[in-house]
Chains A and B, each alone.
Chain A
């Protein structure tokens, strides 16, 4: 292995003062909700750990996840890439191409066996022997299999990688298959969304680097810290839902007042994501604030739950509120959330079990590669 420099050394050498460094740790720790000891842990981690190599492979996708990642404001993508991780392969931004690019994948697998993170954007098409995505003259699946087999952990970026997204919508002509269904012995973290929020992506990476462990995951392998509450739970328009004030037509008085978009098809009540809490583009907005309902882009199979402008049939099934026509104030916290959290906690224990048994939902249906 090559000599490695720690994150702390790198930023000190960049002229960042120790005071600024500790400030950064405190801010990041607060943001991650790490509690009173968080800043110290973060600082310790960053002063002692070399930069972990990351291979960021692309299957069938649209590159929105990479684009989102680059939008991160805290930490900046430049700081992540230059100082926190070693992003040795990412076809979207890497200097090398062709043979020189291919060689990097082989070198990292050889030099950092079991010690690199594999990030996957997009999914793996299995139809036609995988020839719907050819990289380096071979099916992408072959490159994916090799990289997955020896990874320390796999981050599946975005709904393409976590559940197939748009190309897996019916009839899924390429048999686009999410990452976790092809991996058995390596832990997978699903970070869904089309794309995921930038600061969620960098937050997941920061968390892993800080604690040297996976974040706690729910039964869909999603980090609970970001995916355990519904958009509806934290929506700034929620009070209008409870008060029965709805947008009935685009650009009507309710739309101009910022009333609830439930009747316009908003999927906020069934979508687990941090959009309403963290916001998009450094908190600038999120879909509901722009006047359009959530389309549920972080949920498995959301493309096949349209039309998007048809309202969710009945809210009873979610066990939280009554339906919109007879809104009754039900103050109880989200039952679904509590259940999810419990299941998730159990799963996390399994993931960190040295035996690394596969979590539920991982590699159930397809032939595993790793």
Chain B
């Protein structure tokens, strides 16, 4: 191949200089990106390589389905809880277990707290350094920074003295010669555009946000005992409520605990609305061209499973606060119905993944999924000693499978959720999106871009912080009405289960659409499959050559200096990759995995 056009409409040309970024840092897990740039340093081909495999699902085979949440929760400790939630939903779906209203609300509260936390940490700690030059902050005037801060937000940490202190702290760090996490950063890179005072303000908020994020997760700690990796329960939640009686002080949920989560939710909402959102708008206004770069699949195909049931055990449109649906070929007037149980809709392919399917390369629905490890490198792989210099995208090149919805490569994540909610007429989402576009003087199509993704995540963070307060009020109201039930134990005992059952559990993780599929036989897990957000976004090519969201989004992006791949990081970080999520796999019926070959 030198130049060709993929069935999903992207022109690829791998004749130019090849550049590899490995490790891609500030993500979860291990990812490698390779690109070819043309003579003008514009990206003309992109290759997304998932470079870790943990083999988690064969481990689940034969275990108690009620334990599954704890295993799969360990798929990811960043978006902690999402796999546990999808798992308990899958088991409850399989066994026909209905959860109480309070359990639904508490799960919503835990999940919303994660959205707020995860989006905030992504923006400041995983993404901000793509836009913010830490060293430039040293030359900022604290006075100008204070003026800037006060012009964009009522946030109280805004004095000249405060910014002077922060600047001193950074100055000493840099001056010590031991830069720690800022070592070897791309400081001074031509692609950095913020004035010094905006850089200093952002560095101050990087530190503030790092100190503040630990507050938000206390909500998960109240209901789940710890964060990361709180405790969950099939049939409800473990945290029993005792609001009125004797012994309430030692109960998981009492008035003190309710006050604690309400206070945290208030503080989180303030931080998001007074720090995160104003920073997002301020930074975005200096990088307007990044509302053009990095579209990829965004303006074409978007997928969301929907999230936050307002009514327990009801995932219909009228119950979900963020809708389920698919947008195809950019037609925002039509939301396609998505059914996780329809064998013709969600399928996974492996011709370019390090697995093989028995018999053929057809797509398999997750209930019938197979994963047999097949580690082989393509003929054109370039190696030097023990080091792979370039993978061969014509062969197998990733531990990530290629999931497709009705044959389409899809993008998933906050942008997909916000656009699908917008297209579905969600009033609050429309208000947030339209208001932001107006402030930045941008058309709706600007969302389909690197910064569009980043902005959608921020707006969703604000939406989630608002909704978090609502859900806490709902919990309080339900308790006040006399309902303190948190678990349904009718079908807790395995003896009450059918001999065979299968179920699907949905979840919108912060990074996008997440599905778990389970088969239960004789009280044990017979088969377990997860198709996760990063499997969609980091997808390698399929049998027809359709490229996935990362690869598509990188095309056409110009690089100032290919040796310092800041632009690649911007595009990829806008998706918030989670590779530990993307690369667990399963032995279908628990059969032995084949021994991998290294050629």
Measured CB to CB, the residues of A under 8 A from B are 2-5, 9-10, 13-15, 50-51, 53, 58, 60-68, 70-73, 76-78, 81-82, 85-104, 125, 127-129, 131-140, 142, 165-167, 169-174, 176, 194-195, 198, 236-237, 249-251, 255-258, 275, 280-282, 284-292, 295, 297, 303, 306-309
Binds A, one of B164-172, B311-319, B443-451, B453-461: B164-172
Number of B residues with CB within 8 Å of any CB on chain A: 113
Q: Are A94 and B26 in contact (CB under 8 A)?
A: yes
Q: Decide yes or no: A90 and B242 within 8 Å by CB, A97-B25, A137-B388, A295-B70 being known contacts.
A: no
B67 touches A308 (CB 8 A): yes
Please, which residues of chain A bring their CB within 8 A of the CB of B210?
70, 76-78
- With A64-B80, A257-B247 already in contact, the answer to whether A281 and B221 are too (CB < 8 A) is yes
* B387, A291: Cβ atoms closer than 8 Å: no
The residue in A58, A249, A282 that gathers the most chain B C-beta atoms within 10 A of its C-beta is A58
A164: shortest Cβ distance to chain B, in Å?
11
A142 to B387 alpha-carbon distance, docked (Å): 10
Of the listed residues A77, A250, A289, the one surrounded by the most CB atoms of chain B closer than 10 A to its CB is A250
List chain B residues, Cβ under 8 A from A73: 214
Contact partner of A93 (CB less than 8 A), chosen from B55, B173, B181, B211, is: B181
**Please, which residues of chain A bring their CB within 8 A of the CB of B250?**
236-237, 257-258
Cβ–Cβ contact A134 & B30, under 8 A: yes
A135 touches B26 (CB 8 A): no
| In the complex, per-residue mask of B234-266: 1 if CB is within 8 Å of any chain A CB, else 0 | 011111111001110111100000001000000
Q: How far does the alpha carbon of A95 sit from the alpha carbon of B172 in the complex, in Å?
A: 18
* B424 nearest CB across to chain A (Å): 33
Out of B184, B221, B242, name the residue touching A95 (CB < 8 Å): B184
A292 contacts B218, C-beta separation under 8 Å: no
Q: Given A10-B172, A306-B64, is A67 in contact with B228 using a C-beta cutoff of 8 Å?
A: yes
Chain B positions within 8 Å of A286 at CB level: 225-226
* 10 further interface pairs, Cβ-Cβ under 8 Å (given A62-B75, A98-B23): A5-B178, A10-B176, A62-B74, A63-B77, A76-B210, A91-B23, A167-B54, A171-B58, A290-B230, A309-B64
Q: A67-B77, A137-B22, A290-B252 are in contact. Are A256 and B239 (CB under 8 A)?
A: no
Find out whether the CB atom of B580 lies under 8 angstroms from the CB atom of A61: yes
Give the residues in chain A near B125, CB-CB below 8 Å: 93
Q: Establish whether residues B78 and A174, one from each chain, have CB atoms under 8 Å apart when the complex forms.
A: no
Interface 9-residue window, one of B144-152, B283-291, B340-348, B481-489? B481-489
**20 pairs, A vs B, C-beta closer than 8 Å:** A5-B172, A62-B76, A64-B77, A64-B78, A64-B80, A78-B210, A81-B181, A89-B183, A95-B181, A96-B183, A97-B26, A98-B23, A98-B565, A134-B32, A134-B52, A169-B59, A251-B487, A290-B221, A290-B222, A290-B224
Q: Which residues on A sit within 8 Å (CB–CB) of B169? A: 13-15, 82
| Smallest beta-carbon distance B303→chain A, Å | 24
| Contact yes or no, A128 B66, CB < 8 A | no
If the complex has contacts A71-B214, A95-B186, are A101 and B23 also in contact, measured as CB distance less than 8 A?
yes
Cβ–Cβ < 8 Å partners of B134 in chain A: 95
The yes or no answer to B71 lying at the interface (CB within 8 A) is yes
Residue of B53, B80, B236, B247 ringed by the most chain A CB atoms within 10 A: B53
* Distance of A66 Cα from B485 Cα, bound (Å): 35
- Contacts of B211 on A, CB cut-off 8 Å? 76, 78
Q: How far is the CA of A155 from the CA of B375 in the complex (A)?
A: 31
Say yes or no: is B492 at the interface (Cβ < 8 Å to chain A).
Answer: yes
Residues of B within 8 A of A136 (CB): 22-23, 387
The residue in chain A whose Cβ has the minimal distance to the Cβ of B103 is: A251
Asked if A5 and B176 sit within 8 Å, CB to CB, the answer is yes
Q: How far is the CB of B237 from chain A (nearest CB, A)?
A: 8
Contact of A135 among B23, B129, B492 (CB under 8 A): B23
Task: Tell me whether B66 and A251 are in contact (CB under 8 A).
Answer: no
Does B207 sit within 8 A of A, measured CB to CB?
Answer: yes
CA of A286 to CA of B218, assembled, Å? 11
Q: Decide if B63 touches A250 in the complex (CB within 8 Å).
A: no
Q: Is B593 an interface residue (CB 8 A)?
A: yes
A173–B52 Cα distance when bound, in Å, is 13
Mark out the residues of chain B between 535 and 564 whose CB falls within 8 Å of any chain A CB in the assembled complex: 563-564
B180–A81 touching, CB < 8 Å: yes
Q: Quick one: which of B59, B251, B580 contacts A62, CB cutoff 8 A?
A: B580
Taking CB as reference atom, which chain B residue is nearest A254? B240
Q: B431 contacts which chain A residues (CB < 8 A)?
A: none
Q: Across the interface, name the chain B residue whose C-beta is closest to A137.
A: B388
Q: Is the CB of A67 within 8 A of B80?
A: yes
A307 and B66 contacting across the interface, CB-CB below 8 Å: yes
Most buried by B among A102, A172, A285: A285
Q: Which residues of B contact A91 (CB under 8 A)?
A: 23, 25-27
Docked-complex contact B229 and A167, CB < 8 angstroms: no
Q: Is B54 a contact partner of A174 (Cβ separation < 8 A)?
A: yes
Q: How far is the CA of A95 from the CA of B228 in the complex (A)?
A: 23
Give the shortest distance, in Å, between B87 (CB) and chain A (any CB).
13
Q: Give the shortest distance, in Å, between B88 (CB) and chain A (any CB).
A: 12
Please tell me which one of the listed residues A92, A250, A290 contacts residue B28 in the complex, with CB atoms under 8 A apart.
A92
B226 near A281 (CB under 8 angstroms)? Answer: yes
Chain B residues with CB under 8 A of A166: 54, 56, 59, 71, 74
How far, in whole Å, are A82 and B251 apart by their CA atoms in the complex?
A: 39
- Interface positions, chain B 36-82, Cβ under 8 Å from A, are 51-56, 58-59, 63-64, 66-67, 70-71, 74-78, 80
In the bound complex, residues from chain A placing their C-beta under 8 Å from that of B399 are 132
> Residue A67 contacts which of B78, B242, B388, B485 (CB distance < 8 angstroms)?
B78
Contact B241 A281 (CB under 8 A): no
CB neighbours (8 Å) of B22 from chain A are 98, 134-137
Contacts of B474 in A (CB 8 A): none
A residues in contact with B126, CB < 8 Å: 93
B337 at the interface (CB under 8 A from A): no
Contact A13 B168 (CB under 8 A): yes
Is there an interface contact between A287 and B225, defined as CB atoms closer than 8 Å?
yes
B49 to chain A, nearest CB (A): 8
List B contacts of A100 (CB < 8 A). Answer: 184-186, 564
Does the CB pair A194–B247 fall under 8 Å?
no
**Given A82-B173, A88-B183, A237-B250, do A285 and B30 touch, yes or no (CB 8 Å)?**
no
Bound together, the chains give a CA A64 to CA B75 distance in angstroms of 10
**Among B222, B236, B238, B564, residue most surrounded by chain A Cβ atoms (within 10 Å):** B238
Complex CA–CA separation, A67 to B180 (angstroms): 17
Smallest beta-carbon distance A310→chain B, Å: 8
User: Out of A51, A88, A171, which one reaches B59, CB within 8 Å?
Assistant: A171
Contacts of A176 in B (CB 8 A): 54
With A96-B25, A97-B24, A131-B598 known to touch, is A256 a contact of B30 (CB < 8 Å)?
Answer: no
How far does the Cβ of B256 sit from chain A's closest Cβ, in whole Å? 11
Q: Of B80, B168, B229, B564, which is within 8 A of A15 by CB?
A: B168
- Chain A residue at minimal CB-CB distance from B224: A290
A63–B233 CB distance below 8 A = no
Query: Is there an interface contact between A15 and B51, defined as CB atoms closer than 8 Å?
Result: no
- How many angstroms between the C-alpha atoms of A62 and B78 in the bound complex? 7
The residue from A139, A249, A287, A307 contacting B231, defined by CB atoms under 8 A apart: A287
Question: Please, which residues of chain B bring their CB within 8 A of the CB of A53?
Answer: 178
For the complex, give the distance between the alpha carbons of A286 and B325 in Å: 38
Q: Of B80, B184, B207, B565, which contacts A103 at CB under 8 A? A: B184
Set of chain A residues within 8 Å of B54, measured between Cβ atoms: 60, 132, 166-167, 174, 176
B274 on the A face (CB < 8 A):
no
Q: How far is the CA of A125 from the CA of B20 in the complex (A)?
A: 23
Are A281 and B25 closer than 8 Å at their CB atoms? no
- Closest A residue, CB atoms, query B187: A95
What are the residues of chain A within 8 A of B222 when measuring CB–CB? 284-285, 290
Interface flags for B4-42 (1: CB within 8 Å of A; 0: not) read: 000000000000000011111111111010000000000
Knowing A93-B181, A251-B240, the reply to whether A195 touches B229 (Cβ < 8 A) is: yes
